[in-house]
Amino acid sequence: MGKNNSKLFNPHRGKPIPANPLKSVLKDLSPEEEAALPRGWQLIGEVLLVHVPEVLRPRRAELGEALLLLYPRCKTVVETKRIAGEYREPIIDIIAGNGTETIHKENYVLFKLDVARIMYSQGNFYERRRMATVGKGEYVDDEYVVDMFAGIGYFTLPMAVHSKPRRIDAIELNPVSYGYLCENVRLNKVEGIVHPINGDCREKAPVGVADRVLMGYVGTTHEFLPWGIRALRSGGILHYHETVPEKIMYERPGQYITAAAADQGRKAEILETIKIKKYSPGVWHVVVDARIS
């Protein structure tokens, strides 16, 4: 079925959309199917990402067409099944429309990506917005920033567009993400600030010059702390991300940072621990701000 060739209809055209508009767009639902209707989905540029419950799998195409009717500016609906591999690549199915490359606009920043190859977490929105404000008034536009896991520019671009530090070294290992990072630097016209670097941050990070280091990676982030701390000048700020059990989320990340700093004869002052989002049952994604002297 194409976007404009469907027996489905949109009863909400020109009207406020109710809490779950799918209920009145999809017809002839059984009680079980109606109860299982998705209550939320992600909108990334012109692509919608949705989870399809098992009971609705035979009607995936209809579900996709219904979402395209409700969002006429969108071109594709995909189901993200899981995240896999070293580069945390999404495994997806296209359930309606076609084309998975898009440009997502958030907080006046443009992110071009292919949702079939690149993960984009809406749950990190508030941290991306926070990174658009850090550094203002502290080093007065003279910051040297190192983003050790830049991806497509998740944190680098908001900082470059809004805070405008002197320089950001944006390091990314994944060649696909790096390609989009370079393209996004051009799209946002921040070529004079952002210097994309393709490679392993343990080999590419500078030493002793950064006013701020971003470590926006989860899983084994603590293993990279020696290089993050080494990149900082005395008094520099570290933004360290970790996935950690809820019971120890205010202790363990700080302990990792303090120990890694001590190994280099340095001190760490833990400034703040911020919860970003629930990662899995009993586990949180947090970011710790620390000053390294």
Q: Round the average pLDDT of the chain to a whole number and report it.
A: 90
User: What secondary structure, in 3-state letters, does the chain show?
Assistant: CECCECCCCCCCCCCCCCCCCHHHHCCCCCHHHHHHCCCCCEEECCEEECCCCHHHHHHHHHHHHHHHHHCCCCCEEEEEEEEECCCCEEEEEEEEECCCEEEEEECCEEEEEECCCCCCCHHHHHHHHHHCCCCCCCCCCCCEEEECCCCCCCCHHHHHHHHCCCEEEEEECCHHHHHHHHHHHHHCCCCCCEEEEECCHHHHCCCCCEEEEEECCCCCHHHHHHHHHHHEEEEEEEEEEEEEEHHHCCCHHHHHHHHHHHHCCCCEEEEEEEEEEEEECCEEEEEEEEEEC
| CA 273/CA 276 separation, integer angstroms | 10
**Calpha distance 3→75 (Å, rounded):** 8
* pLDDT band with cut points at 50, 70 and 90 for residue 140: very low
10-53 pLDDT tens trace: 444 454 545 578 887 888 888 999 889 988 899 999 999 999 99
Percent of residues, the chain, with pLDDT higher than 70: 90
What pLDDT, on the 0 to 100 scale, is given for residue 159?
96
- For residue 18, the model assigns a pLDDT of 53
Residue with tokens 């767009």: 25
Residue of 4 and 263 predicted with greater confidence: 263
Q: Please report the pLDDT score of residue 83 as a whole number.
A: 75
pLDDT of residue 4: 40
Indicate the pLDDT class of residue 135, thresholds 50, 70 and 90: low
Q: What is the pLDDT of residue 19?
A: 58
**What's the average model confidence in pLDDT over 158-172?**
96
The mean pLDDT value for 109-121 works out to 94
pLDDT of residue 169 exceeding 70 = yes
Confidence at residue 7, expressed as pLDDT on a 0 to 100 scale: 40
- If you average pLDDT over residues 53-69, what whole number do you get? 92
pLDDT at residue 39 in the model: 86
pLDDT in tens, 251-286: 999 999 999 999 999 999 999 999 999 999 999 999
Percentage of residues in the chain having pLDDT higher than 90: 77
Q: What is the pLDDT of residue 141?
A: 58
User: Higher model confidence: residue 34 or residue 103?
Assistant: 103
Determine the average pLDDT of the residues in 233-256: 97
The residue ranking higher by pLDDT, 3 or 187, is 187
* Structural domains in the chain, sorted by start: 22-99 (3.30.300.110), 121-292 (3.40.50.150)
Q: What is the mean pLDDT of residues 115-142?
A: 82
Phi and psi at residue 163, to the nearest 5°? -85, -30
pLDDT at 26: 86
